[in-house]
Each structure stands twice: as structure tokens, then as C-alpha cells.
Chain A
Amino acid sequence: MVSPSPIGQSVPRREGAAKVTGAARYTDDLVIPQAWYGKTVRSTVARGRIRSISLDSGFDWGRVVVVTADDIPGENVVHLIRDDQPVLAREGGEVRHKEEPILLLAAADRVTLDEAARHIRIEYDSAKPVFELDEATEVYSTIEISKGEVLEDLKDLKDVEVVERSFKVGLQEQLYIEPQGAIAIPEPGGAIRIIGSLQCPYYVHRALKRALKLTDAQAIVVQAETGGGFGGKEEYPSMVAIHAALLARKAGRPVRLIYDRHEDLAATTKRHPGVIRHRTAVKQDGTLLSQDIEIVLDGGGYCTLTPVVLSRAAIHAGGAYSCPNVRIRARAVATNTPPNGAFRGFGAPQSLFAAELMVEHVAERLGVSSVDLRRKWMLRLGDTTATGQVLTESVGSELVLDAALKAVSTFQPSNLPTVRRGRGLSLVLHGSGFTGSGEKKLGGTIGLEALADGTFRILTASTEIGQGTKTILCQLAADALGVEMDKVVLAPQDTSLVPDSGPTVASRTAMIVGRLVQEAAIEIKDRLKREKAPPPFRVQKSYIQPDSLRWDETTYKGDAYPIYAWACTIADVEVDMTTGEVRVTDLVTAVDCGKALHPVMAEGQIEGGSLQAVGWATIEEIKMKDGGYQNDRLATYLIPTALDAPRMRTILVENPYSRGPFGAKGIGELPMDGPAPAIIAAIHDATGVWLDEIPATPEKVLAACISR
């Protein structure tokens, strides 16, 4: 009866056949009879008051359903952290960013919808907007982390080098190839069913209840097959779902609210841009004495998840290194730009970019190799982080450094006079799972059923967004139950059917949720063996915080994350000295993943995340104009094509974590952290020029080379 375990096997993706045949149904593929189309009318000013909203009488408004803030039965709030973001801005009320939603329209066809939108006139009393970080006065969040004592006055110290540098990181769009969308269907008893492209059904569920004044049972949220998320569908779908629901409710029929690419680019959340300043003191022999770090992130017009992004940015700000004296002062401010939000890495790529380049600058000042300096500084087993967390197990820092250095091929210099080649390296860590007491507060819960026909059904709200949730959870269950994979199925990600296992974010699904599935499976196997009572029966498991994990939210001290994953990235670049164009030709990444439950999927996460980071570092530029994005079409917001992508080699290092299933650690976001600083270091290696800002566009590279 015992089948060979699928753990560590690259078994076929659960929904793979559907995806390669075109049978997989994404939100816009669904045929919903009687459905109308929805559209959002948005602010054209970055800041001001809505003086008036007029519907032109030259249009037959009987053909269209119009929803304003007055139509919101519950609270005009998109539920998240701060309660500052309205579902719809109201007449007489304020707008805080371009593209802020004001009105919703629904009609039987899109031509009528577009025509209706042309007959709406909104007048504003504009106010002076804040676009620059240093002009911002409203602060969403501040965090201070301190360890030891950072000396203010270092200049009289003998044998001490002080290196100061400032870095800037840019906006980035998640660019899931399937745009945002939701379909809202009114159902009996005042219920509303949402089918949408989303990562977190229960986030949407909570937001829907609040805005539409629904009970738990009346709000039904179902995830459709989702074409990419990367954090962009963590919190934003709540907005789309509420909008669709309001329209459906007023229209008395289903409404499809599907964004086109232009709207998605112009109006949805982006990675928080910001400035990170470092002042690092070292002894002449390279001993790291202190890190003094300041972070300022731009949250945009509303708070959304900014405090949590800032938190992760702050905790990772010192990098993969052990330092006795650390001061990290982080703040996130408001500007009159579209709100920024979750994107893979969630603050860590931003602060790690700066941390890694500081190692390079200090190494340069001291005249030593930055690799040697990393060995000297890196966190090792038993070391203490900036928050005072002792790393008691699974510290893969040196393992990944050695693995990457061993795997990389001999550096090939350029044989063209106008092209220079260079190589750069980075070493990063990434906390797996929610920060501090996040998991405890969530109390994520899964169910596992033993069914009468001999199959087993996993009940989880954790979503498949391409990263392999469905496959990996089935692998874990099948292994623990001792059955074939095809005996394990998953219930749909439907809030009326499954409990809240927490959001599909924070690199937590395999490690935290997978572990719960494993525990439930072990219990079911046990019960099947011991008990007389046959299936069907269900077992439920909820996350229990281990006692050994201690975190103080007010002092920001303690065990910030249950465990860290580690990565070393080596990037080779070519720089065309006549145009400043940078091509990343090769990327070698060694990742300490704890355990590769599904090696091909683990590599897939690393390769995909790495290319997103390459894009962020090189060609994904967003220019602002009057508080709106100029790059609002795919012709102008550019992500790497197959011709731009480097050759990638991935080395999975298995360094088990005792609480992860089979030792697995979360790695979904880690790949976002390493490539950007490695590329900047490689550009320096090629040209002798240091850039302090990404994206390292040809304009910036060329200008830097010329002024050298």
C-alpha cells in the first residue's frame, strides 16, 4: 500500500494539462449568462476636491447603471490596515492621487459603457500635490531597530573607515500577464459571489463584508485560475471585487469588471520606491563596527500595506551580516501618486540592494575583495541579527556563497572594443513567513478530509498562482498518507468551502501551510489505522506559534522570522560603451531552500523571480508626470523578453529547517533580492563606474561612463 514518496520528485503540475490545452479557465474566460460589463471612472487630478460630478443629459442613462459613494451600503473603506482608502471618492470629498476611483458604470456592452463614460464630467478644485519624498509631510509608519550603540561622532576614531552612501530604487509593476479582474454575481439571500483573479480569498472576503455589509455566509469569494500575482493580487483585488459587487447589487445581475492592460498599468499598486542611506564604520582590518541606516519609502496616496512593507525593509536593511552596533530608522511617507503595495520581496529587495552595495563600497575603500569581506561579516550559526534574533539553525550563508562560486564558469572578458564585460556577486537572506507575531495572529487553518471513495481532499484558501501550491500541497499530503498523488485532491479556493489558511504571500505557503497539511495527513493516517470508524471524516489543523519564537512589536526586538532562506547570485553583464546598454548574459544562483519539495518548481521560482529582479535593475522604468505614470502601456512599460533573459543556472542547496515540511523553507520571494546589486557590481566591474540607482538605464550608465 505504501507508494514511493513524491517528495523531492518533480511530479507533473496538478493543473498542467489544463494549462497546456487552453482548458484552464481564468476569470475573463468564464461565461456568465446575463452579465453586464463594468468600468471604473477615475480621477484625472493628483490632489484636490471633487467639486461636482455631472451626467450629461445628452445620453440615455437608462441604459447604464451608475454607482457612486452614496450607493455603498456598508463602510466606504477598502479594508486593509489603516482604513484611509475609500472604495469611491465622493462628490465634495477629496482625491489623493490620479486614477483614484470615483464612479462605477455597468452596461450590457462595452460600446455603451465607453460612450457613457464620455458623457460624465467631473470638476475638481485642485490642490498643490506632493510628489517628492523630501516634500512629503504625512507619515504612514516609522520603525526603529537598534542593537548595541551606533556612534554619531566617528571622525576622531583611529583605524576606522567610515563609508557613507545613498541609494535610490524605483517603482516596479508586477506585470502579471493576466490583468486584474473580478465577476460579481448576486445570489439569493442577499449574497454576492465574487469570482476573481486573486491571491487571498479571505482578504477579499473581509473587505467585501465591510463595504457591502454582508455576513460571513453572504460574502462568497472564489479564486479562478489566476495568471500571475507576485503580490499585485494580494490586496488590490479587494478593490476590484467591491466595485464589481456594488455594480452587480445595483444592476441586479452579474457584472464583469475586467481591467485592460492600460488601466492596470495606470491605476494599480506598484513596488514602493525609495531612498536608502548607509553610514558604515569598519576597522582597517575589515571588522564591521556599525551600520547606521535610514530608509524612506514612498507609499503613494493611501496607506494600503505600507507599514508591513516598511517592516520587512527595515528588518532586512543590514543585509546578511553580523554587526554589533546597528541603527535602522525607517519611515514611509505619503505622496499624491497611486498607492504602492505588495510586490514579491515586499521591502526586502529595496533595502538589500543598498546593503549589498555597501559591502562593495567598503571593500573598495579597504582595497580588499568583497567576497572575502562577506565571509568575514556574514551571519553564521549562533550569530545574532539586528533585532536580536539568535540564528539557531539552518544558516546557509557560506553554503550558498561557496556553491555559487564553485558553479560559476570562468569569466570571459569581451573581445569587442566597444563592449565591456563584468561580473558581480551578492549574498542575501530572506525571512520566510510572516514577520514576528504575524503567523500567530493569523492562526491559519486548513482542513483535510478522508472521503468514502478512498480519496483525500485538502481544504485550503491558499491559492495556486503558478508557484505550485496545488502540486506541492498534494505531494505533502500523499507522502504523509502513504498514497499515490492521484488519491489527493483539493477543494476549490472558495471561502464558503474552505477555512482561512492565511494569504498566499510572504513565502509561507509551502513552509507554514504545507506543514499543517502534513500534520493533518499524519493524523488522518493514524486515525484510519487505529479507529473503527470509516471515512468520511475531517481533520482541521491551525498554526500554533512555537514557544521559542518571541517577538516584541513595540521594541522591534526578537525573532523577526521563524527562519531565513539564503541566496548567492553571480551576474555577468555586457556593457556597450557607445550606448550604455547593459545586457545581463548569465546568472548563477545558489539557494538554501531547506529542502526542495519539487526541484523543478523550486528552480522555476528562482529563475522567474531572478528575471523580475533583472528587469527591475535594468529596463523596468516608470517615469512620472503630474503624479501619473507615463509608462502606461505595454509598449512603454518593458519587461525582459526571451531574447533579453540571461542564461540561468540554479543550484539548490538543502540545509533543512526543523519546522518546515521535510526541512523546507519559503523561497518564493528570495530570488528578487540578489540580482539587482549583483548587476550593479557587475557594471562597475565592467566599466569602473558605480551607479547608486536602479533601474540602471542606458541613459544613466552612459552619463556615468562619460563623467568618469
Chain B
Amino acid sequence: MRDVTYLRPTSLKDAVQLYRTTPGCRPLAGGTDLMVMLHAGVLRPEPRAVLDLWSLSELKGVRVVDSTVEIGAAESYTTIIRSPDVQRHLAALAAAARTIGAAQIQNRGTLGGNLANASPAGDTLPVLLAYDAIVVTDRRAIPIDQFFTGYRKTALEPDELITAVRFPFGRQVAFRKVGTRAAQAISKVVMAVCKSPARIAIGSVAEVPLRARRAEAALERGDIAGAVSAVAEDIRPIDDVRSTAVYRRVVTQNVLRELLRA
């Protein structure tokens, strides 16, 4: 790793400015992804600076605003899990956050980081899709179903910073993650389901966290068997180091069936 400058903005405004004007600058929150890649020297283009957002109070916090829960982009998953507002209104988010890594990772992992990383396996990302969350940035609000544009690609502009994620109230979302082991596991299949409105969001079965539209349409009609059948068409899983396309297809259907049965 060549010399990388550490930048510590003192305010969000300062951060936005620095991000815009510093070449080769990478935003850093809890570091659970970035620090690994930095040390392994795999980031391209090679970064020249990291912009530390971790301590910005404007990016922290869990608060109820109108009928939404708003979570700061750099808030830790541990805080999210423990938040009474999350537990009351976004139980599935807490459930998903609890499956991330283990204590050390939950103390540093953030929604902002996971969103920017846009891994198709991100554990909370299907939950965000099922809640129809809104990604708030320094300049606009992006509906989550427009956020992921390709493999590890987002709708963010090159100098745009995520500041918060907003969740509407009142949805019942069920969550299930299938991973190789009980902690510290990247998912083979991860799913969040809401019956009304019909939302079926799945990770690790496509190049992006996916809304299963055909399955949702069937669910909307009340056709559960049809949803389970249709979801196999919605997904495009691959064979990789963790699992196989065949397995992912079967398990997606099984998990959906179980989540809809409950």
C-alpha cells in the first residue's frame, strides 16, 4: 500500500467539499470493507486518500422523522440493532444486522458502507429493498430500487456522499439468511419478504440485490404457490466459491415458501 493520506473532515459540509476536490479519494466509515482492500492493495484506481466519515455526528443516529425512521449512513450496526425505534418499526433490519459478521464487525459496519460497496451479497440490502428505503445523499434522495445499477455499481455520482437511509413505517418484513456457518459468513442466499405491499428482495442470486418482480406480481394476487414458482425465473444465480446456481435456485424457492407461510 503506497502512502495514502488520511483526511478527517470536521463536518459533513467539509466532507462533501473534500470529497469533491481531492483526487483518488475514498470515503471511509467503519472500514470493514475498505481497510481490507486497502491492505491487500486491490483497489483500482489506487487510492491517494481516505476520507474518514466515522466520527461525523451528522452521519450518526437513529431518529424518527414524520412516519419514517432515519438512520445515519455511518451509524454502526450494533447501535441499529439496539435501537428501540429499529426494533419497533424495522425489526427485519435488526434481524439482518445481527447476521452480519460478529460483534467486531457489527460495531463498525454501516449502512452507508454496505450501500456504497453494493455487494450483491450484502445482508441488509434486501431488507432495504423490502422496506422501499430511500438513500439520502448530500444532494438528493434516491429510491432504493434505483440505487443498484450493476455489479458493485450504484447510481451515485463520483463525488456524491450517502448521508442517511430513510425507512417508511408500518411494514412487516420477514428475513432469512442462508450462510455457510452461523456467524462471519457471506450469504449463499439472503432474502427479505413483505406480504403487503408485495416485496420479495433477494441477495446473492444476481449481480445486484434483486427485487423478484414476477414473484411479487404473483404474491400481489395472493398466489403464493405462483410466487414460489415464479421466483426461479426472476433470479440469475451463478456457481461461485460459496455455492452453486442449482442450490441457490432451490433454496430461494424453499426460503420464500417458508417466509410466506409464516
Contact = CB atoms under 8 A, between A and B. Distances in A.
B247 to A, nearest CB: 4
Interface in A682-708: 697-699, 702-703, 706
Interface in B235-255: 241-244, 246-247, 250-251, 254-255
B186 A635 contact: yes
B180 A619 contact: yes
Nearest to B242: A636
Interface residues of A, number: 27
B97 to A, nearest CB: 16
B139 interface: no
A579 B248 CA distance: 9
B41 A114 contact: yes
Nearest to B243: A699
A641 B104 CA distance: 14
A641 B180 contact: no
Interface string A13-44: 00000000000000000000000000000000
B183 A636 contact: no
A82 interface: no
A642 B258 CA distance: 27
A623 interface: yes
Interface string A614-640: 000001000100000011000110101
A644 interface: yes
A581 interface: yes
A262 B40 CA distance: 10
Interface string B222-246: 0000000000000000000111101
B89 interface: no
Contact of B247 (A111, A642, A643, A699): A699
B244 A699 contact: yes
B102 A641 contact: yes
Contacts of B251: 578-580, 698, 702
B175 to A, nearest CB: 14
Interface string B160-203: 00000000000000000010111111101000000000000000
A623 B182 contact: no
B2 A643 contact: no
Contacts of B40: 262
B201 to A, nearest CB: 18
A108 to B, nearest CB: 15
A623 B246 CA distance: 17
Contacts of B186: 635
A643 B258 contact: no
A89 to B, nearest CB: 25
A581 B178 contact: yes
Contact of A641 (B41, B183, B247): B183
Most central of B241, B242, B247, B254 by chain A CB within 10 Å: B241
B43 interface: no
Nearest to A111: B2
Most buried by B among A262, A418, A699: A699
Contacts, number: 60
Contacts of A580: 247, 251
B1 A111 contact: yes
Contacts of B2: 111
Contacts of A699: 243-244, 246-247
A128 to B, nearest CB: 24
Contacts of B243: 698-699
B182 A702 contact: no
Contacts of A111: 1-2
Contact of A623 (B188, B241, B247): B241
Interface string B65-109: 000000000000000000000000000000000000010000000
B254 A578 contact: yes
A270 B1 CA distance: 30
B241 A636 contact: yes
A627 to B, nearest CB: 16
A578 B258 contact: yes
Given A111-B2, A114-B41, A579-B251, A644 B183 contact: yes
Contact of A418 (B178, B181, B185, B258): B258
B255 A579 contact: yes
Contacts of A583: 182
Contacts of A643: 181-183
Contacts of A262: 40
Contact of A706 (B178, B180, B250): B250
Contacts of B254: 578-579
A699 B250 CA distance: 10
Interface in B98-142: 102
A418 B41 CA distance: 44
Contact of B181 (A630, A644, A703, A706): A644
A132 B110 CA distance: 44
Interface in A639-670: 640-644
A636 B247 CA distance: 18
B255 A578 contact: yes
A395 B141 CA distance: 73
A491 to B, nearest CB: 39
B241 A641 contact: no
A74 to B, nearest CB: 35
A44 B255 CA distance: 40
A638 B180 contact: yes
Contacts of B184: 638, 641
A111 B254 CA distance: 49
B241 to A, nearest CB: 5
B241 A698 contact: no
A631 B246 CA distance: 20
A698 B247 contact: yes
Contacts of B1: 111
Nearest to B182: A643
Nearest to B39: A260
Contacts of A581: 178
Given A578-B254, A579-B178, A698 B183 contact: no
A255 B242 CA distance: 37
A703 B180 CA distance: 16
Given A111-B2, A623-B241, A638 B181 contact: yes
Nearest to A700: B247
Contacts of B242: 636
Contacts of B102: 641
Contacts of A638: 180-181, 184-185
A631 B240 CA distance: 11
A643 B181 CA distance: 8
A702 B181 contact: no
Contacts of B181: 619, 638, 640-641, 643-644
A630 B241 contact: yes
A699 B243 CA distance: 7
Contacts of B180: 619, 638, 697-698
A484 B256 CA distance: 65
A634 to B, nearest CB: 9
B114 to A, nearest CB: 15
A351 to B, nearest CB: 27
A368 B251 CA distance: 35
8 contacts: A111-B2, A581-B178, A636-B242, A638-B184, A641-B183, A644-B181, A644-B182, A698-B243
Give 4 closest A-B pairs by Cβ, nearest first. Answer: A643-B182, A578-B254, A699-B247, A630-B241
Interface of B: 1-2, 40-41, 102, 178, 180-186, 188, 241-244, 246-247, 250-251, 254-255, 257-258
Given A578-B251, A641-B102, A702-B250, 7 more contacts: A111-B2, A579-B251, A641-B183, A642-B183, A643-B183, A698-B243, A699-B247
